[in-house]
Structure 1
């Protein structure tokens, strides 16, 4: 999972909600463009163009506005900006492996969840460069295990893509020679967006893997 730092909601979204009156109340079902597109853009921008859960690169055309706490069960949060993120997969298609926002369904245990807004949420997971697998950092962390299953973060589709990203950076020569100082700088660098405000594909995974290697170097 990724750590998301929320910005201020777009003014057009605030203004639209402020039109509430005795005969009309704003709801997600009646949110339309341009306000909806502006909202989607704002979410993508604050997330550096990456999915809030798996960290893949996303855009308007292949992502959706995600309610972390499902609006079917948490109607009071349906229009709360702090509950809204951008998640990969815009439209589900037969045969497409579901994961991230589209995999949650009704299985949402509020007592086990880890939110992308939680400090330290990224450190509760570790990754394998060999096959891209994701694991709880602490095997006794039931919430981390639950979130991996809830969001289907360990399906082959994502494992293969994480492995590809990790192997591109962390080959044997690099790992065998990198110092802890170099790894710390690398971990920090992957958390920094480029001049356009975007992070690279699976940035948080690359950063976290660098952290995993710190302390194991001579």
Structure 2
């Protein structure tokens, strides 16, 4: 889980909400067209086009707008930009395992769920070279519960992480080359995207980070 630094909401999205009147009220269900496209672009940019929870690449048509605090809660404003994220998975095939926002669904307990909007979120998790994730502290119940509720240790995600790790374990790469490789991987690319499973690589090769 990579820390996401929220920015100001897009003016177009804010203006769309301010058009509320006695005949029309903005609602997440009627969000469409240009305001929605601009909103999505803003969320994607904040996250560097990786999932807010597992950090897999957000591929067209395979992600959804996520409410960290579920919109099913009457106290939550479904259009509160500070609560909006992008999570992987959209229309799932039958039998496809749910994870991240899809698995979390309407569940929420701020005492048991680590937020990617919290600056210290990354410090709660540790990774193994086989791609598995674990709490950085064995007794961190919040991390344990977050991993479970978001399905962050599913075999599918662990396999993806392991594939991201494999190139860094090439025995033909010397330490100097590995250092360049790691630091380059952790930089935004020319499309302003982060590489998938960013915090996994950061954690496992932290001694090489400049």
Do the structures match in fold with TM over 0.5? yes
Partner SS state of residue 61, structure 1: coil
Describe how 1:128-147 pairs up with structure 2 within 5 A. 128-129=128-129, 131-147=130-146
Q: Is the 8 A contact 1:190 1:204 kept in 2?
A: no
Q: Is the 8 A contact 2:2 2:121 kept in 1?
A: yes
| Partners of 2:17 and 2:103 in 1: CA distance | 29
TM norm structure 1:
0.86
Unaligned runs of 5+ in 2: none
Look up the match of 1:203. Answer: 198
Look up the match of 2:188. Answer: 193
How far 1:191 sits from its partner (Å)? 3.6
How far 1:173 sits from its partner (Å)? 6.1
| Partners of 2:88 and 2:120 in 1: CA distance | 22
Look up the match of 2:119. Answer: 119
Per-residue CA shift, 1:137-189, capped at 9, x if unaligned?
Answer: 00111110111001000000000110111122134566xx648xx76x76654
| Partners of 1:117 and 1:160 in 2: CA distance | 26
Describe how 1:32-71 pairs up with structure 2 within 5 A. 32-71=32-71
Measured on the aligned residues, the alpha-carbon RMSD in Å equals 2.1
Per-residue CA shift, 1:122-146, capped at 9, x if unaligned?
Answer: 12101111x2110000011111011
Partner SS state of residue 34, structure 1: helix
Look up the match of 1:152. Answer: 151
Unaligned runs of 5+ in 1: none
Q: 1:188 to 1:25 in 2, by over 3 A?
A: farther
Aligned residues: 207
Q: 1:36 to 1:79 in 2, by over 3 A?
A: same
Partner SS state of residue 61, structure 2: helix
